A and B are shown apart, each in its own frame.
Chain A
C-alpha cells in the first residue's frame, strides 16, 4: 500500500450524486479518498448550436438535467426565457411521439454515454417522422478513462469505479485493457451499498497486488453486455474524435 491516501476514481455524475447524497466520503478512514472524475460534460459549443437551432424556429426537446448546463453565452433555460421553444421529455420515444403530433420541426437533444445512446439509435431505426431529428452529442467511457489517465498525472488513480449502466450495454470486457495497464476496476451500481462493495473490491485487489475487472453489480451487468443494443448503435452512429 502506498504511503498516501488510496484513491479510487469514479467517472460518472450519477455516481458522484450517490456518493454525495449518502455521505460515502465520510464513512471510510482518512487513508481512503474517493476521487470524482469528469462525469458527462456537455461542450459549451453543443449548447450554443442547439440554442441557435431553437432560435431558428425549431422546438427543442431534451431531458431536464441539461437545461441549466451553460453554453458559451447562455443555457437552454436562459434561451427559453428569451422565447426559444425548449421542452422537457422523459424518453427519446416521447420526443418522436411529440413530433408525430406536431407540424413543427422537432430536435431531440441529449448528450449521453453508452447507456442512453442505444435508445437514440432505436428511434432513428424506427423511421421517425420527417420533422424529427436528433442533435447527437454522445460520448464513450473508455476513451474518457484514457484521457483521465493521460491528462490526470497529478491525480493518483488507484483504480476505477466503472459506471454500471454503461457496462449493462458494453459489458465488462472493454475495461480489461485498463486492468492490464495496472488499474483495478470494479463495475458498480448506483446504490450506496453497490458503491461501497466496488470500493472494497478495489481495495482487495490493491492489497493483493492485483489489477483485474470485477463486477460489483451482477444484478444488472453481465460480461458481454447488451449485444443487440450495441449492434443498433453501430448501424446508426460512427465513432469520431470528440474535438
Chain B
C-alpha cells in the first residue's frame, strides 16, 4: 500500500555548476555544459572557479570540485545506462 500524493510538485531539483564569472551578485555558471545566470545572494565567499549547487536560479550551497564531479559522474552514468537501454530495446 503506497500513499501517492494527488498532485506532485517536483521543484526540489538542484544541480551543481562551476562559477565562470561574477558581476555584482550574479554569476555565470556552467551547469555541466549549459551556461546560466545564477544569483549569489544565498551563499558567501564565492569566487570564479568555485562550484555551487543551483536551485531555481539561486546558488544555495557551495560544493567542493570533488562533490560536484561526483554528481556529474552520476548524471553521465545514468545517461549512458539509459542510452544503452534504448539501444538494446
Contacts and interface: CB of A to CB of B under 8 A. Distances in A.
B2 interface: yes
Nearest to A111: B9
Interface in A96-145: 110-113, 115-116, 118-119, 122, 125-126
A151 to B, nearest CB: 11
A191 B78 contact: yes
A226 B56 contact: no
B42 A226 contact: yes
Interface stretch (A11-19, A76-84, A178-186): A11-19
A171 to B, nearest CB: 11
B60 A226 contact: yes
Contacts of B6: 41
Contacts, number: 143
B65 to A, nearest CB: 11
Interface residues of B, number: 35
Contact of A12 (B12, B56, B57): B12
Nearest to A5: B1
Given A14-B12, A65-B9, A190-B13, A168 B53 contact: yes
Interface residues of A, number: 58
Nearest to A222: B61
B53 A119 contact: no
B67 A228 contact: no
A115 B8 contact: no
Contact of A115 (B2, B60, B70, B71): B60
B41 A232 contact: yes
Contacts of B68: 219
20 contacts: A12-B12, A13-B5, A33-B1, A34-B2, A35-B3, A36-B2, A39-B8, A39-B9, A42-B7, A69-B7, A92-B56, A93-B57, A118-B60, A119-B58, A165-B14, A191-B75, A191-B78, A219-B63, A220-B16, A226-B43
Interface of A: 12-17, 25, 33-42, 63, 65-66, 68-70, 90-94, 110-113, 115-116, 118-119, 122, 125-126, 155, 163, 165-166, 168-169, 190-193, 218-222, 226, 228-229, 232
